[in-house]
Amino acid sequence: MIRHVVLFKLRPGLPTETAANIFAALKALQREIPGIVAVSTGADASPEGLQHGHTHGFTVDFENAAARDAYLPHLAHQKVGAMIVAASEGGVAGITVFDWEM
């Protein structure tokens, strides 16, 4: 299994429902893209102060690397990714992505 972790910071001044809309679109990907095992989303709740500016994040668990690799160019993923980039402070530069094998 592959865990895909994405952290981002929402731009100031966005409507309050922006994160909820992004998270709903992410969760819908599980119904649209084969090989997604689970999607988890949320706002930062850590008391450690090590967020490095990230305010929100999500994980997508894939059956295997092939499922993750098929997800990356998938049109539904590209649409949600564009939403995240548009809402993130700094665009792509403000997003951190990290995957590991479980």
* Domains contained in the chain, number: 1
In what helix (H) or strand (E) does residue 43 lie, and over which residues does it extend? strand 36-43
Instruction: Give the pLDDT confidence score for residue 17 in this predicted structure.
Output: 96
* Domain containing residue 77: 2-101
User: Quick one: pLDDT band at residue 29, thresholds 50, 70, 90?
Assistant: very high
Integer Rg of the chain from CA: 13
Q: What is the distance between the alpha carbons of residues 41 and 30, in angstroms, rounded to a whole number?
A: 13
Q: What is the Cα–Cα distance from 10 to 90, expressed in whole angstroms?
A: 9
pTM (two decimals): 0.95
Per residue in 35-45, pLDDT (tens digit) is 999 999 999 99
**Tens digit of pLDDT for each residue in 52-80?**
999 999 999 999 999 999 999 999 999 99
Give the CATH number of the domain where residue 19 resides.
Answer: 3.30.70.100
Q: Rounded to the nearest 5 degrees, what angle is found at the Cα of 82, between the Cα atoms of 19 and 31? A: 70
Give me the percent of the chain exceeding a pLDDT of 90.
99
